[in-house]
């Protein structure tokens, strides 16, 4: 067997343990592991990871690469370049593109676009709307890893299905053997508060936070948990933003619902107080909340109740984003390139999170949520050879001017970081090394593992 790459002398990190080992890679998968120096193989290329930590490739469970249709904000080439430069090897791309990812033909279309230019691997989600419930099983055959439904108004103005249709969708998702995730905000509560705040003349950043209270999130989680309990469908909550939401998730899990969730760096490390200084730059749906929620969400990542880190990378142009009137500012900002640095800085190096806990939240958790484990999310023989290699001592400053997406402005600008990815390996190819993009765009769509009877049958 020809060994393409051997990663030597590093410390391997899994969700359970850390240990010194060498890892051999051939044909894009791990083929052998052994104690340092024990693998007697000739490799085309050797990476010396002495002093470094070798994690299963980081999976960002929530990105908007805007392709097709909104390429002026981002495209799969630029978004995936930012991803690998930040240490991310796989992304889950959201379906609110133009056109939306809502039929098997549109899944194929997005797959071909992405495979022509993506530096990282990617999973696609199918959109669920009032009109396309008959398309959900066919989309599973086309290879989606799951589905997304918007319960409240957000970017793209995609209306939620009515509850009757949503229950039909739950049955189809169950038949497909996949998971459906929700943008969980009660629309009526938000619309009502928005009208009131606007009528009162409020245009300040905090008005956005007040218009979308935690209760709107909790209510949506409660209702989707109820549907999931009755139909037996696996569900997911995107971008969890509140302690109250996490408590509601605990309640449904205790009643037997298979419910996963994710949160992002801005919810963990920023708060409504930062809205006062950052204003429109920090506008996001759902909003960052009062101090206290972030600690609870971060603790959820530490103890595993929050399954994964997902950035909701959602770039817009500066003109779309920056307005003095908060209602005119669009929600979202870049995140895929900075998440590893932020969690190493404010989590691992701050002593609040161990590296195995980080590996679970950043890689294994998202892989399990979307049915990709153990092909992704772990370093073991037979798995895809995706690695994020970390130097915990490397320092830097978050600087949009030196980032690699199309619109890199983000609310963490100027933060000093300690710890970052120094190499990104995607199925055996070193794509990023020491801050240089050295690989080719050979990213491929990843399909769910056998958990899905429909996907397994094709
Ligand atoms: Zn999103």
Neighbours of 247 (CB within 10 A): 13
37: CA distance to ligand 1 center in Å?
44
**Confidence (pLDDT) at 152:** 78
Tens of pLDDT along 36-51? 999 988 999 999 999 9
Tens of pLDDT along 113-125? 999 999 999 999 9
**265 and 311 in contact (C-beta within 8 Å)?**
yes
In this predicted structure, the answer to whether residue 451 has a pLDDT above a threshold of 80 is no
155: CA distance to ligand 1 center in Å?
8
In this predicted structure, the answer to whether residue 311 has a pLDDT above a threshold of 70 is yes
For 124, phi then psi, to 5°, come to: -110, 145
Tens of pLDDT along 289-300? 999 999 999 999
186: CA distance to ligand 1 center in Å?
16
- How would DSSP label each residue in 78-140? HHHHHHHHTTEEEEEE-S-SSS-S-SHHHHHHHHHHHHTT-SSEEEEEEE--TT-GGGHHHHH
**Confidence (pLDDT) at 156:** 60
**Confidence (pLDDT) at 369:** 98
**Confidence (pLDDT) at 279:** 96
| Mean pLDDT across the chain | 96
Confidence of residue 157 (pLDDT cuts 50, 70, 90): confident
163: CA distance to ligand 1 center in Å?
22
310: CA distance to ligand 1 center in Å?
9
**Confidence (pLDDT) at 458:** 41
Per-state percent for the chain, helix, strand, coil, to nearest 5: 35, 25, 40
In this predicted structure, the answer to whether residue 154 has a pLDDT above a threshold of 50 is yes
In this predicted structure, the answer to whether residue 456 has a pLDDT above a threshold of 80 is no
Sign of CA dihedral 417, 419, 425, 426: negative
In this predicted structure, the answer to whether residue 345 has a pLDDT above a threshold of 60 is yes
In this predicted structure, the answer to whether residue 454 has a pLDDT above a threshold of 60 is no
51: CA distance to ligand 1 center in Å?
36
Q: What's the token pair of residue 405?
A: 């997406």
314: CA distance to ligand 1 center in Å?
7
Instruction: Give Dmax (Cα) for the chain.
Output: 73
Give the residue-averaged pLDDT of 1-14.
95
Give the residue-averaged pLDDT of 411-436.
98
């Amino acid at each position: 067997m020809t060994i393409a790459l051997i990663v030597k002398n590093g410390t391997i990190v899994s969700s359970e343990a850390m240990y010194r080992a060498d890892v051999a890679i051939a044909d894009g998968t791990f083929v052998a592991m052994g104690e340092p120096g024990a693998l007697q193989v000739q490799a085309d290329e050797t990476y010396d990871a002495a002093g470094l930590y070798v994690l299963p490739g980081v999976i960002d469970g929530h990105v908007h690469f805007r392709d097709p249709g909104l390429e002026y904000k981002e495209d799969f080439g630029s978004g995936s370049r930012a991803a690998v430069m930040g240490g991310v090897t796989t992304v889950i791309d959201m379906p609110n593109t133009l056109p939306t990812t809502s039929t098997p033909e549109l899944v194929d279309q997005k797959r071909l676009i992405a495979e022509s230019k993506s530096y990282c691997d990617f999973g696609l989600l199918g959109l669920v709307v009032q009109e396309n419930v008959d398309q959900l099983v066919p989309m599973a055959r086309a290879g989606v890893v799951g589905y997304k439904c918007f319960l409240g108004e957000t970017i793209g103005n995609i209306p939620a299905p009515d509850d009757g249709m949503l229950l039909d969708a739950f049955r189809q998702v169950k038949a497909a053997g996949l998971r459906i995730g929700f943008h969980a905000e009660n629309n009526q509560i938000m619309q009502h508060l928005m009208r009131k705040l606007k009528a009162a003349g409020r245009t300040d950043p905090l008005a956005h936070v007040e218009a979308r209270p935690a209760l709107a999130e909790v209510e949506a989680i409660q209702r989707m948990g109820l549907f999931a309990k009755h139909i037996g469908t696996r569900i997911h909550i995107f971008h969890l933003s509140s302690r109250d939401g996490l408590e509601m998730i605990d309640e449904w899990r205790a009643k037997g619902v298979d419910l996963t969730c994710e949160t992002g760096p801005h919810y963990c490390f920023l708060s409504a107080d930062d809205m006062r200084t950052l204003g429109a730059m920090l506008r996001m749906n759902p909003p960052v909340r009062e101090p206290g929620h972030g600690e609870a969400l971060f603790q959820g990542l530490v103890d595993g109740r929050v399954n994964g880190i997902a950035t909701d990378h959602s770039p817009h142009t500066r003109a779309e984003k920056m307005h003095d009137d908060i209602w005119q500012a669009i929600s979202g900002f870049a995140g895929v390139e900075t998440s590893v640095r932020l969690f190493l800085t404010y989590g691992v190096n701050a002593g609040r999170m161990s590296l195995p806990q980080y590996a679970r939240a950043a890689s294994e958790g998202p892989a399990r949520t979307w049915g990709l484990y153990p092909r992704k999310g772990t370093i073991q023989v037979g798995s895809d050879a995706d690695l994020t290699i970390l130097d915990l001592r490397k320092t830097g400053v978050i600087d949009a001017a030196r980032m690699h997406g199309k619109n890199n402005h983000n609310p963490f600008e100027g933060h000093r970081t300690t710890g970052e990815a120094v190499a990104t390996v995607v199925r055996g190819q070193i794509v990023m090394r020491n801050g240089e993009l050295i690989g080719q765009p050979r990213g491929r769509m990843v399909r769910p593992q056998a958990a899905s009877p429909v996907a397994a049958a094709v």
